[in-house]
Chains A and B, each alone.
Chain A
Amino acid sequence: DIQMTQSPSSLSASVGDRVTITCQASQDITKYLNWFEQKPGKAPKLLIHDASILEMGVPSRFSGSGSGTDFTFTISSLQPEDIATYYCQQYHTRYTFGQGTKVAIK
């Protein structure tokens, strides 16, 4: 099974800060990575697919990069409405989620 290691598990940043989350796969998954946002009590929402392609309607402050085993998710300027837990997910072989990163406002 492919394992996904996501870090950090939580972070606190100020409004306007740049926030970066990393996700490492236990083997090469090429570009087959999604990023999800989950707000408290809500279902996950797909933000990015194929490691870097933004879903329609997702603000441009969100971005993703990487390929192979190492991936990065970035919020260029943190906004209050970005308070959520973010998950990476590989779909190269079946599906595995990262452990999640809880983002809070400082």
Chain B
Amino acid sequence: QEHLVESGGGVVHPGRSLRLSCGASGFNFHNYAMHWVRQAPGKGLEWVATISYDGDFEYYTDFLRGRFTISRDNSKNSLFLQLNSLGPDDTAVYYCARERGFCSGGYCPRYYGMDVWGQGTTVTVS
């Protein structure tokens, strides 16, 4: 059974940094792109970043202005999100999620959005 577990959230002062982690199990991690999605308290879902199956390509939502960095370590089935220059608007539950499309032999037809989600880790900037 596919499983994603986030960690690394907490309470942090404005301007500080935090590194989130996501451990994957139950599937071939290296065959899938991965995403981070966040949800502010009482608000909707907001896509944050995506990384290709091999880590060669990164995609970010425009509002980040270069403050966050997505990365992965396929040898450890792990996904990361480095959050820098945090502000109160970054307060949210951060979810890691698997890309629904399967990449095989270096070929990924396209990206289809998120199918498997972790339980989320909470970041509070205060």
Contacts and interface: CB of A to CB of B under 8 A. Distances in A.
B47 A43 contact: no
Contact of B113 (A43, A49, A98): A49
Could you say which interface size class chain B belongs to?
A: 20 to 34
Nearest to A91: B113
Interface of chain A, helix or strand or loop or mixed? loop
Chain A residues touching B, range: 20 to 34
Contact of B45 (A42, A87, A91): A87
A15 B100 CA distance: 32
B47 A96 contact: yes
Contact of B120 (A34, A43, A45, A97): A43
Interface string B82-98: 00000000000001000
A81 interface: no
A55 to B, nearest CB: 8
Given A87-B45, A99-B44, A94 B59 contact: yes
A32 B109 CA distance: 13
